[in-house]
C-alpha cells in the first residue's frame, strides 16, 4: 500500500518530489517514506536528483531531468500526464514543461497535443493549460503521442514549452476553413505575417548582421522563418467522411509565401479505432481557445538555424494504373484504368472484393495507392471504401489522368523512417546541437508497426542520443524532404528541427 501511494504521487508529479513533499502528499510518516523510497531506488524504479534538496522521480521520466533541454540560445521543457481528470492532467503537464524551460515562468511559446480520450473534458483541459502557461500556445487533438520522455505514449496530454528570445511566434486561425480552403490558407498566413511586428524588426537586424558575417549561400539556403500549421483533418459525420482539404489549404499558404519556405505540421485526429469504423471528432487549439473545423497557422521568425525532413515506409511495385475518374474535388476516386475504383484496386492487389470491403482501410494501409513526383519520389495516399463499395474516399487529392502505383509496406523502412527523416534534416548540421525536433507520424504507421512502434523510437535514441523530440500520430502530415516543396502527405513522418545555433554565428 505504501509503495502504491508513493508511486501514484510521483506519477502525478513527474518532475519529482522530496521526501518531505512525498510524505505530505501521501499522508505517510517521513521515516516510512524514506525507507520505501530507498527500496524503490535500489530496485531501479526511482531515480534521484541532488540540488538544493534530494528529489526523487520515476525512472521512466528520467529524460525530463536532463540538462540536454537547456541550451545557450534556447531552452525547452516537455511535460506529460495521463491523469484521469483532464484539468489536473493539463496542469501537471504544463507545470512540468515550464519548470524545465523557464523555471516556472510563462515561456515564449508552447505547443500542446491532447489525446482524444480527453475529448469529453476538452474545456477543462484548455482551462488547465491556460492557468499555467497563459494563452500563447497552439495544438490539436491526437490519436497517440510521441516524445523523448516516454517514446510512444497513448492517452496523454503533452506540452512543449519553448523559451528563447530568438524565436518569434505569431498566430492566426482560419475558422470554417473548408468553405474555401485555398482562400483560408492565403488569409491566415497573411494575417499571421502581419501580426509579426516585432519579428519583422528583429529579422531586418539579423539579416543585416548575417550579410556582414556569413557566406551568401548560407543566407540563401537557411531562411530566417518557418511555418507551423495544424489543420482540422478528415472526420466522420453520420458515417460519411468529411475531407480535411489540407491540400487546398496548404496551396493557399504557398501562394502567399512561395514553395520553398519550411512548412511543417499535421492534421488533428481522434482515436484510430473510431476512424476504422467511420467515427471520430477532432479539435484544434490557438490562443487559449478551442476550435472545431478550423486550421491554425503560426508564422515563426527564427534567428536560429532550422531544418526539416520527410520519410515513409513504402516501396514501389510493378502494379501501376491511371486515375480515370474522380469527383468531389478529387476526394472521391471513382475509376482506375476505366474500371470501378474498388474493383480495379482489388484486381491490382489480387484480393476478393467482399474481403476487401469488410476492412478496406487495413488493405489500403498495407498497399496504398501512391503517386510519384517529378523527382521520382513515392508518396502514398490514404483511402478507404465508401458505403457503395464502388468508390474510394481519399484523405488527399488525386487528379484525373494521374499515374499511380500500388506500393507495398516495408517494415524495416517504416522502422527507419523517423531516423531517416532526421538524417535529412541534420545534413550539414552534424556538429550543431539539436534544441528540439518536432515529429509528426501517420497514425496508420503506428497501426502497422504495432508492438514494434517503439523500435522506431529506440533507433532515434541510438542514432541521436538523448535529443529531445515531441509530436503525435496524425491523420495527415505536412512537410517536405530536404530541399523539396512542402506537401500534404499520408503514411509519412515529417520533422522540423530547431538547432541551438544563431544564424549570425
* Residue 278: predicted pLDDT: 58
- Highest mean predicted confidence (pLDDT) among 49-63, 79-93, 275-289, 313-327: 313-327
* Residue 46: predicted pLDDT: 73
- What would the grid cell of residue 316 be? 514501389
Q: Which of 267-276, 298-307, 401-410 has the lowest mean pLDDT?
A: 267-276
* Residue 468: predicted pLDDT: 93
Q: Which of 498, 377, 485, 505 is nearest to 426 (CA)?
A: 498
- Of the two residues 107 and 27, the one the predictor is more confident about is 107
- Spatial CB neighbours of 214, under 8 Å, sequence gap ≥ 6: 503, 504
- Highest mean predicted confidence (pLDDT) among 100-104, 212-216, 379-383, 457-461: 379-383
Q: Which of 20-29, 106-115, 123-132, 422-431 has the lowest mean pLDDT?
A: 20-29
Q: Tell me the pLDDT band of 70, cut-offs 50, 70 and 90.
A: confident
- Spatial CB neighbours of 359, under 8 Å, sequence gap ≥ 6: none
Across the range 215-240, mean pLDDT stands at 83
Q: Cell numbers 513504402 label which residue?
A: 314
- Of the two residues 375 and 186, the one the predictor is more confident about is 186
Q: Residue 329 pLDDT > 80, yes or no?
A: yes
Percent of the chain with pLDDT over 70: 93
| Domain extent listing, the chain | 1-65, 160-312+411-502, 322-408
CA 108 to CA 125: how far, in whole Å? Answer: 20
Assign a CATH topology to domain 1-65.
Answer: Arc Repressor Mutant, subunit A (1.10.10)
Q: Which of 474, 475, 365 is nearest to 409 (CA)?
A: 365
Across the range 304-317, mean pLDDT stands at 97
* Residue 207: predicted pLDDT: 72
- Of the two residues 59 and 258, the one the predictor is more confident about is 258
Angle at 183 between CA 180 and CA 184, to 5 degrees: 80
Q: Which of 2-16, 144-158, 207-221, 429-443 has the lowest mean pLDDT?
A: 207-221
* Residue 209: predicted pLDDT: 73
- Whether the CB-CB separation of 189 and 297 falls below 8 Å is answered with yes
- Spatial CB neighbours of 321, under 8 Å, sequence gap ≥ 6: 336, 337, 344, 348, 403, 404, 405, 406
Angle at 291 between CA 287 and CA 294, to 5 degrees: 105
Give the single-character DSSP code of 474: E
* Residue 19: predicted pLDDT: 85
Positive or negative, the Cα torsion across 207, 212, 213, 214? positive
* Residue 14: predicted pLDDT: 75
CA 240 to CA 464: how far, in whole Å? Answer: 42
* Residue 261: predicted pLDDT: 94
Across the range 459-487, mean pLDDT stands at 93
Across the range 181-190, mean pLDDT stands at 98
What's the pLDDT tens digit per position in 253-301? Answer: 999 999 989 999 999 988 767 665 556 678 999 999 999 999 999 999 9
* Residue 240: predicted pLDDT: 75
In whole numbers, what is the pLDDT of the chain averaged over residues?
90
Q: Tell me the pLDDT band of 159, cut-offs 50, 70 and 90.
A: very high
What's the pLDDT tens digit per position in 17-53? Answer: 888 888 888 888 888 888 887 888 877 777 776 655 6
- Of the two residues 12 and 132, the one the predictor is more confident about is 132
Strands 487-489 and 477-479: antiparallel
Across the range 423-450, mean pLDDT stands at 94
* Residue 274: predicted pLDDT: 66
Amino acid at each position: 500500500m505504501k509503495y502504491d501511494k508513493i508511486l501514484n504521487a510521483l506519477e502525478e508529479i513527474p518532475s519529482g518530489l522530496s521526501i518531505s513533499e512525498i510524505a505530505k502528499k501521501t499522508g505517510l510518516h517521513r521515516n516510512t517514506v524514506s525507507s520505501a523510497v530507498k527500496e524503490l531506488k535500489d530496485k531501479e524504479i526511482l531515480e534521484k536528483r541532488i540540488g538544493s534538496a534530494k528529489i526523487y522521480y520515476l525512472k521512466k521520466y528520467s529524460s525530463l531531468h536532463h540538462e540536454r533541454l537547456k541550451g545557450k540560445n534556447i531552452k525547452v521543457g516537455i511535460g506529460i500526464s495521463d491523469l484521469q481528470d483532464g484539468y489536473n492532467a493539463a496542469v501537471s503537464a504544463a507545470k512540468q514543461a515550464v519548470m524545465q524551460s523557464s523555471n516556472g515562468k510563462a515561456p515564449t511559446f508552447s505547443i500542446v497535443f491532447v489525446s482524444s480520450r480527453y475529448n469529453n473534458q476538452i474545456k477543462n483541459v484548455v482551462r488547465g493549460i491556460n492557468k499555467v502557461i497563459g494563452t500563447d500556445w497552439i495544438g490539436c487533438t491526437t490519436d497517440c503521442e510521441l516524445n523523448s520522455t516516454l517514446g510512444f505514449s497513448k492517452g496523454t496530454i503533452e506540452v512543449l514549452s519553448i523559451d528563447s528570445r530568438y524565436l518569434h511566434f505569431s498566430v492566426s486561425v482560419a475558422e470554417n476553413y473548408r468553405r474555401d480552403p485555398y482562400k483560408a490558407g492565403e488569409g491566415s498566413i497573411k494575417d499571421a505575417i502581419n501580426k509579426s511586428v516585432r519579428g519583422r524588426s528583429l529579422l531586418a537586424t539579423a539579416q543585416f548582421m548575417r550579410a556582414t558575417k556569413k557566406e551568401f549561400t548560407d543566407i540563401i539556403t537557411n531562411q530566417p522563418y518557418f511555418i507551423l500549421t495544424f489543420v482540422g483533418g478528415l472526420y466522420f459525420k453520420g458515417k460519411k467522411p468529411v475531407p480535411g482539404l489540407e491540400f487546398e489549404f496548404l496551396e493557399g499558404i504557398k501562394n502567399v509565401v512561395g514553395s520553398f519556405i519550411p512548412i511543417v505540421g499535421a492534421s488533428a485526429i481522434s482515436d484510430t479505432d473510431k476512424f476504422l469504423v467511420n467515427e471520430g471528432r477532432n479539435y484544434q487549439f490557438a490562443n487559449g481557445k478551442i476550435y472545431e473545423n478550423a486550421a491554425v497557422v503560426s508564422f515563426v521568425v527564427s534567428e536560429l538555424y532550422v531544418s526539416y525532413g520527410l520519410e515513409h515506409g513504402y516501396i514501389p511495385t510493378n502494379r501501376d494504373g491511371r486515375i480515370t475518374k474522380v469527383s468531389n474535388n478529387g476526394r472521391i476516386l471513382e475509376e482506375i484504368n476505366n474500371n470501378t475504383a474498388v474493383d480495379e484496386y482489388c484486381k491490382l492487389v489480387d484480393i476478393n472484393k467482399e474481403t476487401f470491403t469488410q476492412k478496406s482501410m487495413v488493405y489500403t494501409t498495407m498497399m496504398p495507392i501512391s503517386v510519384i513526383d517529378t523527382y521520382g519520389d513515392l508518396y502514398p495516399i490514404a483511402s478507404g471504401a465508401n458505403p457503395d463499395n464502388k468508390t474510394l474516399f481519399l484523405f488527399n487529392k488525386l487528379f484525373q489522368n494521374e499515374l499511380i502505383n500500388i506500393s507495398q509496406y516495408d517494415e524495416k523502412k517504416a522502422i527507419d523512417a523517423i531516423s531517416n527523416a532526421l538524417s535529412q534534416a541534420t545534413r550539414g548540421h552534424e556538429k550543431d546541437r539539436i534544441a528540439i525536433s518536432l515529429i509528426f507520424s501517420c497514425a496508420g504507421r503506428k497501426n502497422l508497426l504495432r508492438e514494434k512502434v517503439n523500435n522506431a523510437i529506440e533507433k532515434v535514441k541510438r542514432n541521436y542520443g538523448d535529443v529531445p523530440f515531441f509530436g503525435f500520430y496524425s491523420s495527415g502530415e505536412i512537410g517536405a524532404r530536404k530541399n523539396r516543396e512542402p506537401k500534404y502527405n499520408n503514411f509519412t513522418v515529417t520533422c522540423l528541427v530547431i538547432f541551438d545555433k544563431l544564424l549570425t554565428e
